[in-house]
């Protein structure tokens, strides 16, 4: 980050379209703008951040009183605030669902879903990560609500879906069937399919199974659940880059069981000891939350304080990994990608260069299977969709596909 005279002036995004002054600042001066909750107070308001050497001055433009006397902050803290400002600027304005409900997909499971945007817009389905991650308010904001009919849902056992963190009747092919049931329930013929991380896995296998229902695909942080991908992140590989966070991950597992962390965790996450189950769920979840961005983001880590989130995230992820994704072959997702290629549907792949959760090698291999896909390797990003370059490309892709003809 430069050491002299860069100023970030935060301006509210006034509508779904980028404000002209914002566009000028961003394109000409590379200054990012938005309203943000800064680390220095408890309000969301315009502020000015100016870099001077190793310190950064902070000046509020709000008339509201604050609970903070900070005039300076560490470069690390302000970098996180700046990244959030950049990320926020790229997204559409926050919106609320215009409808929501629960769809019974089996005698046991009901999945929560919601719709945003306009009812006669281009349908798009947002497929969350994990498995077990659930949807959030931010996930609605990649899509122009004046052009899209935005559908989001919590997969079995995740988010608001019931029963919470259930592993029974919870597998990849049940989720694919759930997506189809949801499409039929909403009366949608075809839709754009959007997914990141595990969401990219599920998006790909859904498209491979129901290619006639897909208008286009937007994929991020590609994951195909192969043995080498799981070993890299959960056994040996990413541990070399985050040794401090790795210690917290391995701590709950006895030395004699550390030759297979996934199996050892699964034993505890599905065991009868509730205290140990929650402890392991939090350790498992913190490991991924800590490594998903180039800089450790406290907001990600704070999600692990929620017991229900940690239990759903860790239990369901581990369940899928132990069962090898419920695929018939180790390379199932890539082996069947030719179905997508031969269909001719447009595909955009967005991948962080320094993604340690789902390394870029898998995304590159998918691109070779889908040579006509738009492929963007973001040089200054990790795994998270919350990083500026990734967010920007995802929104750009969705803006491009909003001109597709609805079927």
Asked if 331 and 358 sit in the same domain, the reply is yes
> What are the backbone dihedrals phi and psi of residue 363, each rounded to the nearest 5 degrees, phi first?
-60, -40
Q: Is the dihedral of CA 318, 323, 328, 331 positive or negative?
A: positive
Cβ count within 10 A of residue 276: 14
Asked if 375 and 403 sit in the same domain, the reply is yes
Confidence at residue 90, expressed as pLDDT on a 0 to 100 scale: 86
Asked if 196 and 244 sit in the same domain, the reply is yes
Confidence at residue 295, expressed as pLDDT on a 0 to 100 scale: 86
Asked if 58 and 138 sit in the same domain, the reply is no
Confidence at residue 300, expressed as pLDDT on a 0 to 100 scale: 85
**Domains: count for the chain:** 2
Which pair of structure tokens corresponds to residue 97?
């669902």
Asked if 128 and 217 sit in the same domain, the reply is yes
Half-sphere exposure of 339 (CA within 13 A, CB side): 17
Q: In what order do the strands lie in the sheet with 47-52?
A: 4-9, 47-52, 55-60, 72-73
* Residues 207, 203: Cα–Cα separation, whole Å: 6
Asked if 136 and 64 sit in the same domain, the reply is no
Cβ count within 10 A of residue 244: 8
| Catalytic one of 60, 90, 161, 197 | 197
| Catalytic one of 128, 319, 367, 383 | 383
95 in a structural domain: no
Query: Where is the domain boundary, 72, 90, 108?
Result: 90
Confidence at residue 77, expressed as pLDDT on a 0 to 100 scale: 57
C-alpha distances (whole Å) from 222 to each of 5, 213, 229, 339 are 38, 21, 10, 17
Confidence at residue 302, expressed as pLDDT on a 0 to 100 scale: 87
Determine how β-strand 347-352 pairs with β-strand 214-220. Answer: parallel
Asked if 37 and 186 sit in the same domain, the reply is no
pTM value is 0.81
Confidence at residue 217, expressed as pLDDT on a 0 to 100 scale: 98
32 in a structural domain: yes
All residue ranges of the chain with pLDDT < 50 are 1-73, 75
Let me know if 19 is a catalytic residue.
no
Contact of 384 with 87, CB cutoff 8 Å: no
**Residue in this structure with the two tokens 């286009």, named with its chain if needed:** 216
330 in a structural domain: yes
Asked if 203 and 279 sit in the same domain, the reply is yes
Structural domain boundaries enclosing 405: 100-407
* Residues 163, 375: Cα–Cα separation, whole Å: 38
Asked if 84 and 105 sit in the same domain, the reply is no
| Strand, helix or coil for residue 104 | strand
Asked if 56 and 143 sit in the same domain, the reply is no
Q: Provide the β-strand partners of residue 55.
A: 52
Let me know if 197 is a catalytic residue.
yes
Query: Where is the domain boundary, 54, 71, 90?
Result: 90
Q: Convert 297-345 into a string of H (helix), E (strand) and C (coil).
A: CHHHHHHHHCHHHHHHHHHHHHHHHHCHHHCCCCCHHHHCCHHHHHHCC
Query: Where is the domain boundary, 90, 121, 148?
Result: 90
Confidence at residue 15, expressed as pLDDT on a 0 to 100 scale: 36
| Catalytic one of 87, 139, 178, 355 | 355
Let me know if 76 is a catalytic residue.
no
Confidence at residue 17, expressed as pLDDT on a 0 to 100 scale: 45
Asked if 69 and 139 sit in the same domain, the reply is no
Confidence at residue 23, expressed as pLDDT on a 0 to 100 scale: 46
Q: Which DSSP string corresponds to 339-371?
A: HHHHHT--EEEEEETT-SSS-HHHHHHHHHHST
Contact of 252 with 280, CB cutoff 8 Å: yes
Burial of 331-341, coded b for 16+ CB within 10 Å and e otherwise, reads ebbbebbeebe
Which CATH number fits the domain that encloses residue 152?
3.40.50.1820
Confidence at residue 42, expressed as pLDDT on a 0 to 100 scale: 37
């Amino acid at each position: 980050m430069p050491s002299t005279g860069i100023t970030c002036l935060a301006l509210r995004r006034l509508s779904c379209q980028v404000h002209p002054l914002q566009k000028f600042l961003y394109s000409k001066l590379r200054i990012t703008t938005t309203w943000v909750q800064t680390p220095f107070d408890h309000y969301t308001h315009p502020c000015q951040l100016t870099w001077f050497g190793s310190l950064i001055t902070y000046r509020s433009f709000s008339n509201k009183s604050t609970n903070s006397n900070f005039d300076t902050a560490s470069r690390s803290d302000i970098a996180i605030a700046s990244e959030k400002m950049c990320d926020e600027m790229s997204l559409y304005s926050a919106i609320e669902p215009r409808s929501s409900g629960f769809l019974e997909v089996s005698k046991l499971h009901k999945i929560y879903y919601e719709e945003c945007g306009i009812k006669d817009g281009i349908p798009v389905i947002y497929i969350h990560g994990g498995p077990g991650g659930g949807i959030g308010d931010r996930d609605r904001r990649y899509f122009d609500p004046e052009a899209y009919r935005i559908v989001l849902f919590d997969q079995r056992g995740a988010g608001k879906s019931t029963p919470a963190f259930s592993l029974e009747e919870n597998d990849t092919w049940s989720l694919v069937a759930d997506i189809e049931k949801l499409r039929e329930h909403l009366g949608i013929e075809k839709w754009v399919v959007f997914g990141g991380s595990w969401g990219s896995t599920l998006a790909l296998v859904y498209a491979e199974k129901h290619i006639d229902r897909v208008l286009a695909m937007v994929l991020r942080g590609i994951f195909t659940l192969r043995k080498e991908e799981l070993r890299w992140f959960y056994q040996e590989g990413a541990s070399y880059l985050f040794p401090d966070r790795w210690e917290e991950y391995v701590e709950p597992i006895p030395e004699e069981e550390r030759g297979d962390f996934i199996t050892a965790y699964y034993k505890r996450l599905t065991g009868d000891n509730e205290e140990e189950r929650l402890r392991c769920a939090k350790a498992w979840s913190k490991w991924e939350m800590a490594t998903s961005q180039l800089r450790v983001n406290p907001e990600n880590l704070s999600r692990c304080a929620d017991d229900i989130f940690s239990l759903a995230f860790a239990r369901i992820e581990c369940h899928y990994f132990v069962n090898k994704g419920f695929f018939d072959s180790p390379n199932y997702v890539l082996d069947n990608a030719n179905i997508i290629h031969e269909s001719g549907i447009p595909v955009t792949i967005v991948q962080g260069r320094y993604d340690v959760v789902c390394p870029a090698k898998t995304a590159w291999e998918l691109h070779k299977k889908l040579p006509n896909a738009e492929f963007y390797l973001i040089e200054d990003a990790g795994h998270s969709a919350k990083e500026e370059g990734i967010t920007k490309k995802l929104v750009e892709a969705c803006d491009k596909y909003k001109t597709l003809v609805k079927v």
